[in-house]
Amino acid sequence: MKTRRIDNYGKINRDKILSFRWDKKNYTGFEGDTLASALLANKIGIVGRSFKYHRPRGIFSSGVEESGALVTIGSKDRRDPNVRATTQELYNGLEASGQNAFPNVNFDLAGINNYLGRFFAAGFYYKTFMGIPPLEWGKGTAIWMFFEKFIRKAAGMGSASGLPDPDTYEHAHDFCDLIVVGSGPSGVAAAIEAAEKKLDVILVEQDSLIGGNQLAENDFDNSQIKNQLENLGIKIMTRTTAFGLYDNCVVGLLERVTDHISAPNLNIPRQRFWTIRAKHIIVGAGAIERHIAFNNNDIPGVMTVNASKHYLNRYGVLTGKRIAIATNNDSVYETAHQLSEAGADITVLDSRSNFEIETNKNFEIRKGYVPYNINGSKKIHSLDVSKSENMNKYETINCDQVLLSGGWSPAVHLLSHRGVRPKWDYSNACFLPSDSKENITMVGSSRGLWNKNDCIASGIAGTTDALNRLGISKTNYFFPKPGGWKNPIQPLYEVKYKKSRSKSFVDYQHDVTTDDVRLAHREGFISVEHLKRYTTLGMANDQGKMGNIIGLSLMAELLNKEIPEVGTTVFRPPYTPVPIGALSGRNVGKHFRPLRVTPMHQWNIDHGAKMIEVGLYQRPWYYPKENETLSDSYIREASTVRKTVGICDVTSLGKIAIQGPDSTEFLNRIYSNGFSKLQVGKARYGIMLRDDGIVMDDGTSWRLAENEYFMTTSTGEAAKVMSWLEELLQTRWTDLNVNVTSVSEQWAGVSVAGPKSREVLNNCVDDSLVVNNNNLPFMGVTSTFLKGNIPCRIARISFSGELAFEVYVKSDFANTMMDLLWANAKKYDGCLYGLEALGALRVEKGHVTAAELDGRVTIDDAGLSKMASTKKSYIGSAMRKRGVLKNNDREILVGFFPSNLKETFNAGTIVCEKNNIKGQGIGRITSVTYSPELGHWIGLGFVKGGLDKWKDIILVGADPVRNKQMNLKVVSPHMIDPKGERMYA
Amino acid sequence: MIRINCPYCGERDHSEFSYGGDATINYPSLDASEKEWTEAIFFRKNIKGFQFETWHHSNGCRMWLVVERSTVTHEIKSVKPCHPDLQKVVENNK
């Protein structure tokens, strides 16, 4: 490489030297450098290896469109792959390395792929590994799956660290009247105009400095502009990319807070993910210079013309000594002149034959010439050129750098995010933005304006447009006409190579060549969307910012159509990659989702509870004694409940206060069973159906007073039931006078279950008479006081099948209640029991939970036909016996025993007939437990036809996941105390 | 991000709301036939353009709202409470 740092150029701070490491060697650069400019200054030309062919790649650009210089920054858990060296600011101690190469980018063993190129054309892997006879007869997938992992390893870019991300990220929000994207001449003009008209303005710039492409000019100084913007109260956000536009003028921003700092303060986030809600958006995102496809157009030393200008004037790096510039437009001549002034030998090849350009002739201009082939592999030795009219090698020019300009593509990406398709402009050979009906205005070169004065005028016009649309003004305005070069551009996308196979790259990053596009055409992938997916053109992380137009033009030529007829691919967010860490913000680890705890959470832990997550709730799982395992513990707990008494935190149940004169009517409509005759002081178990007749949830409702009920729902469905009740009252039954309020957080609940439960409660309430069998019969409810004058609600409800009570107190009294109950339960050798024992008890009893009521089950399937009233209509009553729901081979709730009582089984087991073990079988097991009462494993589940059909017939439980099989006996789901004698005791 | 102007809370992100469904369905009476209910809950028009739909301000005031929204552009023409009495309150407070 003949790149070098030169004096008196650039805006870098030469007093501040920064040291950095590239591929394990030490180098230095200056403050203000990017990694790319520092590498160039250190004469490093090869910075990566290409995706498929492992060809050496250099730096192609100076910005976000970079498709060659993708490197890995940082090490260990801060290793960040696929970072564009062109946008990475240099800092002291930066560590970077090349990618996709072994042992390194200068000597890469996989470089042999370059010579096997014919095997790696588009679709090669799929064709080869998915269709090898005889494997293509339906078995190709297996061989593909075998080879895929090797193929994936050979291709690709950098790799992630695989370690937890040590950095923090933040989500932030802001509002404004106008957000301006881009701080080039048009964006700045728009922002100033808007701020002067008293709008609240945010100006966003992805670069570290404001100025846009003016930063590539040798006489540009942004300090005055910056002061002006700040004095007007404009919020300037640099190092911030507007990565996407969304509905209602919402803009997504990524602010890189510490990516440019060598030892960032760990108390500030690495990046901020902003959601900006604006009233109007002005996009002055600029334009991106295209390259030209010709043979070996990827050899390190190839670069866009504008990039070279940036390196010279911003970073003081002259990128070549003998430079060939290939162009089809006027934009390169200023750069050619400046490079020549800086000491380079310049030859300009212009594909146009007839045009006038003013230069002071200190470089050669060859009119009617195009680049044909680069000679060299790791660096450029010379360039073969051809005449435009015949495209054959004509002569060879000695050079060490080739700069390309195939025209400019306005950055219409953000508008494309809003579904606005750009339109092709023949005279400027580019896509121009169409008008948007939303409050979005495109300004500057992103609407195809090539000179600065037009850009400034468009910025002011853009703000006028915004003011008009916001109803603040009614001023006429006009945008300058697209274009602005003296001579028209001559479309030039590819110079065809006449010899054997060519390596003319369309998409550098994904190694897509012009031949790949032609292959796709031959094989019928002619739609743009197919072309893209078949060749992966434009699907790398640069998203085809440089190469897409070339691909389109090639396809247009093959189809004998014009580019707009071939179409354009739709750009989708993000404009540049957004790290997953920034998307998740602080919602990681324990903060991934909210955590809910009951008011006696700490009490439970203090008393030995091991916790488990149920939905968002932390609930006691089991209370092990000494060295007990989970199963030791829950079996002991369940046995204790059956023998004496147990206490269980049931606070996580949903609780809803239902109040108002029409409460009874309301409940009678939403529950499938009758509620009209429920007396004050009684509770009832109820089932709610959905509109379509499927079971939604079950729970109890307690009638506290004439017009007041207390409803409990299952833990998991609490939020859904609450929304459902509100929906019914606010949308369907607006004549009902009922108010519903969620009181889940207000009440702490506990279940006291077991033959000794009444005696325990007796000792805990102020007035022991209230809990005797007469005053509190089965399903009775009372509002009374616990000792210490604590108001409470008690209902005699049983989930375990034992004599049992649910006691509720205000959440503040939760610990006092637990202390009181526990002190008394201990006297009867009682226990604390958790969710696992609760499950065992209810499975023994045949009670259903969410495992059974999974949204596919009808009330009849669940064996609860008695709960479906025939005397009234209710939600779901018309639909619960529709169509397939009345088939008589539906899966019905049953109990399961293993035939051999010593065997175990698992939930998820598929129930099959003997000799027909396949597919979905005839049923499934939903819940299993060891039954302390019965002394063996039992299960609940469903089987087609139910108990009546399979009584005394041995079925098979197939558990292919665990590679298990066992014989099963079908039994009644009510596996203990079927008559309920214990509950009524 | 769609922004919904809740009549009680003001303009908020759609992430505060839960989508309900078609707001134009007249649900049949509970004792109506299976056929009527089938029509009401399974058959939906797939409208291109503005439609009335319900949204629940579930992370806000918990009001159910009728939102007139374009399925093409997400443009929202009107937002009002589902409950007629609440509609009146909103009207009176304007």
How far apart, in whole angstroms, are the C-alpha atoms of residue A361 and residue A347? 11
Which CATH topology does A654-742 take? Answer: Alpha-Beta Plaits (3.30.70)
The residue among A248, A670, A696, A884 with the most chain B CBs within 10 A of its CB, best to mutate, is A248
Across the range A898-911, mean pLDDT stands at 95
Tokens 């369905």 found at: B25
- Would you tell me the crossing angle of helices A835-845 and A630-643 to the nearest 10 degrees? 60
Mapped onto helix, strand or coil, the DSSP state of residue A590 is: helix
The residue length of chain A stands at 985
Are the C-beta atoms of B59 and B50 separated by less than 8 Å? no
Residue of B nearest to A876 (CA): B30
Task: Kindly state the tokens that stand for B33.
Answer: 């036939």
Any residues with CB less than 8 A from the CB of A516 and at least 6 apart, and which? A121, A122, A506, A535, A537
The torsion angles phi and psi of A192, rounded to 5 degrees, stand at: -65, -45
Evaluate whether residue B28 is within a structural domain.
no
φ, ψ dihedrals at A446, nearest 5°: -75, -5
- B53: CATH: 3.30.2270.10
Domain that holds residue B68: 42-94
Distance CA A579, CA A78 (A): 13
* Crossing angle (nearest 10°) for helices A185-196 and A223-231: 30
Looking at the structure of chain B, the number of domains it has is 1
Asked if A969 and A899 count as a contact pair (C-beta separation under 8 A), the reply is: yes
B34 found inside a domain: no
Q: Give me the residue label for tokens 């108001």.
A: A791
A441-455 confidence digits (pLDDT tens): 999 999 999 999 999
Instruction: Report ipTM (2 d.p.).
Output: 0.98
3-class DSSP assignment, residue A346? strand
The predicted-structure confidence for A356-384, as pLDDT tens digits, reads as follows: 988 777 899 999 999 999 999 999 999 99
Which of the following CATH numbers is that of domain A167-288+408-481: 3.40.630.30, 1.10.3720.10, 3.40.190.120, 3.50.50.60?
3.50.50.60
Give the pair of three-digit tokens for residue A743: 């009181």
A940 - beta bridge partners?
A895, A927
Q: How far apart are CA A182 and CA A202, in angstroms?
A: 10
Chain A contacts to B (CB-CB under 8 A): 246-248, 250, 275, 277, 437-438, 669, 691-692, 723, 726-727, 729-732, 734, 873-875, 877-879, 881-882
A571/A244 Cα distance (integer angstroms) = 10
CA-CA distance, A896 to A941, in Å (whole number)? 7
Q: Integer distance in angstroms from the first to the last C-alpha of chain B?
A: 27
CATH 2.40.30.110 for domain A887-985: yes
Query: Which residues face A944 on adjacent strands?
Result: A891
| pLDDT of the residue at B1 | 87
CA atoms within 13 A on the CB side of A939: 30
Tell whether the model's pLDDT for residue A554 goes beyond 70: yes
Pairwise CB contact (< 8 Å): A878 & B31? yes
Place of tokens 């203990």: A976
Asked whether residue A135 carries a pLDDT value surpassing 60, the answer given is no
- The proportion of chain A whose per-residue pLDDT surpasses 90, expressed as a percent, equals 83
Higher pLDDT, A526 or A637: A637
First-to-last CA distance in chain A? Answer: 94
Say which CATH superfamily domain A601-652+746-841 falls into: Probable tRNA modification gtpase trme; domain 1 (3.30.1360.120)
Residue A1 has pLDDT above 90, yes or no: no
Buried (b) or exposed (e) across A671-709, using 16+ Cβ within 10 A? bbbbbeebeebbbbbbbbbbbbbbbbbbbbbbbbeebeb
- Decide if B46 is inside a domain: yes
Q: How many residues are listed for chain B in this entry?
A: 94
Q: What is the 3-state secondary structure (H, E, C) of A716-782?
A: CCHHHHHHHHHHHHHHHCCCCCCEEEECCCCEEEEEEECCCHHHHHHHHECCHHHHCCCCCCCCEEE
Q: Give the pLDDT mean for A694-700.
A: 96
Question: Closest by alpha carbon to A769, among A785, A745, A750, A748?
Answer: A785
Closest CA to A542 of A27, A90, A50, A76: A50
Answer yes or no: is pLDDT of A183 > 60: yes
Sorting pLDDT into bands at 50, 70 and 90, what band is A540? Answer: confident
- Cα–Cα nearest to A909, from A962, A947, A945: A962
Nearest CA in chain A to B76: A248
Alpha-carbon dihedral sign for residues A822, A800, A671, A925 = positive
Better-scored residue on pLDDT, A425 or A156: A425
- A756's CB contacts (< 8 A; 6+ apart) are A644, A645, A825, A828, A830
Please judge whether B34 and A730 are an interchain contact, meaning their C-beta atoms are less than 8 angstroms apart: no
Average pLDDT over residues A733-740: 97
Per the model's pLDDT, the better-predicted residue between A251 and A590 turns out to be A251
Q: Using H for helix, E for strand and C for coil, what is the string for A112-180?
A: HHHHHHHHHCCCHHHHHHHCCCCCCCCCHHHHHHHHHHHHHHHCCCCCCCCCCCCCCEEEEEEEEEEEE
pLDDT of residue A142: 63
Report B:32-91 residues touching A (Cβ under 8 A): 32-34, 36-38, 40-42, 54, 56, 58, 62-64, 73-74, 81-86
Q: Residue A502: what pLDDT? A: 84
Predicted confidence (pLDDT) per residue in A823-861, tens digit: 999 999 999 999 999 999 999 999 999 999 999 999 999
Between CA A423 and CA B36 the distance in angstroms is 50
Disruptive mutation site among B14, B19, B41, B77 for chain A (greatest number of A CBs within 10 Å): B41
Q: Which of A529, A532, A452, A478 is nearest to A217 (CA)?
A: A452
Q: Please, are residues A30 and A19 in contact by the beta-carbon 8 Å criterion?
A: no
Q: At what angle do helices A814-827 and A757-764 cross, to 10 degrees?
A: 130
Paired tokens of A359: 């230069």
Question: Is residue B56 within 8 Å of A726, Cβ to Cβ?
Answer: yes
Q: Which residue has tokens 């010579």? A: A115
Distance CA A302, CA A68 (A): 10
* Domain residue limits, chain A: 167-288+408-481, 601-652+746-841, 654-742, 887-985
Residue of chain A with shortest Cα separation from B32: A878
Reduced to 3 states (helix: H, G, I; strand: E, B; else coil), residue A707 is coil
Give me the phi and psi of A632, to 5 degrees please: -55, -45
Residue A167 amino acid letter: D
Flag if B30 and A730 touch (Cβ within 8 Å). no
pLDDT for A126: 63
